[in-house]
Amino acid sequence: MTKLLDSINYPDSLKSLKIEELPRLAAEVRSLIIETVSRTGGHLAASLGAVEIAIALHYAFDAPGDFIIWDVGHQAYAHKILTGRKELFKNLRQSGGLSGFPNREESPYDAFTVGHGSTSVSTALGLVAARELSKKTNKVIAVIGDGSLAGGMALEALNHAGHLGKDIIVILNDNEMSISPSVGAMSRYLNRVVTSPIYNRIRKDVETLMRRIPKLGFRVVRAARRLEESLKNLLVPGIIFEELGFRYFGPIDGHDIGLLIKTFRNIKTLNIPILLHLVTKKGKGYEFAEKFPNKFHGATPFFIETGELKSSSSDVSFTKAFSDSLCDIARGNSRVVAITAAMPEGTGLDKFQAEFPGRAFNVGMAEQHAVGFAAGLARDGFIPVIAIYSTFLQRAYDQIVHDVCLQNLHVIFAIDRSGIVGEDGPTHHGLFDIAYLSHIPNLAVMAPKDLEELSRMLRFAIAHNGPIALRYPRGTGVDIPSGNADIELGKPELLREGDDVVIVGLGSMVHSCMEVAEHLEKENIEAAVINARFVRPHDMELIRKLAKTCKVLVCVEEGVVEGGFGSYLLKELEENDIRFEKIKLIGLPDIFIEHGKRDILLDKYGLSKDKILKTIKKLIQKG
Q: Please identify every residue annotated as catalytic.
A: 282, 367, 395
Nearest to 431, CA basis, from 393, 387, 374, 399: 393
Which helix (H) or strand (E) element contains residue 279? Answer: strand 273-279
Lateral strand order in the sheet of 336-340: 360-362, 336-340, 383-389, 412-416, 468-471, 444-446, 534-536
Which residues face 465 on adjacent strands? none
CA distance linking residue 431 with residue 394, whole number of Å: 11
Which residues face 143 on adjacent strands? 70, 171
Q: Cβ of 369: how many Cβ atoms within 10 Å?
A: 18
Please return the burial class of 8, using the count of CB atoms within 10 Å of its CB with bins 0-12, 13-18 and 19+.
Answer: buried
CA distance linking residue 492 with residue 502, whole number of Å: 13
Please return the burial class of 152, using the count of CB atoms within 10 Å of its CB with bins 0-12, 13-18 and 19+.
Answer: middle
Where residue 97 falls (left for φ over 0; alpha for ψ -120 to 50; beta otherwise) is: beta
CA distance linking residue 124 with residue 315, whole number of Å: 43
Q: Is the CB of residue 395 less than 8 Å from the CB of residue 453?
A: no
Reported residue count of the chain is 623
The sign one gets for the Cα dihedral 601, 604, 607, 611 is: positive
In 395-529, which residue ranges form alpha helices assigned H by DSSP? 397-399, 433-437, 451-463, 510-522
